[in-house]
Each structure stands twice: as structure tokens, then as C-alpha cells.
Amino acid sequence: MKSYRFAITVSACALFAACSNVGNVDPSALIKSGQMATQAATLSDADVRALTDKSCAQLDSENKIAAANSNYQKRLNKIAAQLGDNINGTPVNYKVYMTKDVNAWAMANGCVRVYSGLMDMMNDNEVRGVVGHEMGHVALGHTRKAMQVAYATSAARSVASSAGGVAAMLST
């Protein structure tokens, strides 16, 4: 795997270095584009785990979390008991965000969050269906795929903007 990453990185750098002689091209932006393309191609499960650990911690710090003895958390625990305590071997951490927003999501690191607004408008079976759906995205690797698409899209935009002119205006 390391030789694969190295080959992609060297190829991208060589290509971008060759293109840097073209007028109006920003070589540093091309190098950045190559790095993003490499990240997209070589994103590992460990990378996804680290990124989702950070994201979940940040979101938890920005939202009010229901107390462990609250009716919301007790209800979610009852629902969660039927969904299981892991996704493909990754332990699941269920919490409720106290907000009127209607939402739920799951991350590749097992972070599952349900908003109290969703719980207020749905019965247990409906909440279980929504949370199970979100967990299915994780089980099928959709988080990793979405991250790869985001890196690849950023790389493509960076290449376009490095060219200057109309391409740069269209990429922003």
C-alpha cells in the first residue's frame, strides 16, 4: 500500500511540475491539488476514523447533549438495544442532541446522534428506522466514499483555479 501511495504522489508531482511551465499556472496550487488527489485515492479506514473522531468531538462540544438519566436518552437506549452495540465491529456511541431540529446521523467511528426534535415527532419504530438507516450508511462505507469524493472535488477545483482566467472563476 505504501508503494502505491508513493507512486501516486510521485506521478502527481511530476505531472504538476511539468504543467507548471504553462503560463498563468500557480505551481503551489498544483502541488496542493496533487496532495488532495493523493488523499482521495489513498484514504484509509484509519484516516476516516481519525477524521470522524474529530468531527464527532467537535459537534458534541457545540451541542447540548441529553443527560444520561433524561427521558430522551433512556428512550434512545431502549431503541438502541434493538439496533445493536456495533457497526461491523466498531462500537456504537448513542447520544441525543437537545434541539428542535429534526435530524439523526451516524459516523464511521460509531458516533450516532439523534436530535430531540426528531424524537418528539416520531414513535419508537420510526426513530429506529431512521437510526438504522443512518447506521446502514456507515456499514456500507458511505462515509469513506463521501470523504473521497470531497477530496477529489477539492483537488479538481484547485487544479482549475490554479490555471487562472475563466477556469479559476468557474471553480470558486
User: Edge-to-edge strand order for the sheet containing 111-115?
Assistant: 93-97, 111-115, 104-106
| Per-residue pLDDT reduced to its tens digit, 113-168 | 999 999 999 999 999 999 999 999 889 887 767 776 676 777 677 767 766 655 55
Task: With CA atoms as reference, report the closest residue to 47 among 147, 165, 157.
Answer: 147
Say what percent of the chain tops pLDDT 90: 48
Q: Given a cut of 70, is residue 31 above it in pLDDT?
A: no
Write down the pLDDT at residue 19.
55
Per-residue pLDDT at 115: 99
pLDDT > 80? residue 112: yes
Active-site position among 56, 95, 134, 162: 134
Judge whether 62 counts as a catalytic residue: no
Q: What fold does the segment set 63-140 form as a domain? A: Zincin-like (3.30.2010)
Is pTM beyond 0.85? Reply is no
Give the integer Cα–Cα distance in Å for 16 and 35: 11
> Integer distance in angstroms from the first to the last C-alpha of the chain?
33
Task: Indicate the pLDDT class of residue 7, thresholds 50, 70 and 90.
Answer: low
**Cβ neighbour number for residue 140 with a 10 Å cutoff:** 12
d(CA 160, CA 144): 24
Kindly list the domain boundaries of the chain, sorted by start residue: 1-42+144-172, 63-140
| Dihedral pair phi/psi, residue 170, rounded to 5° | -75, -25
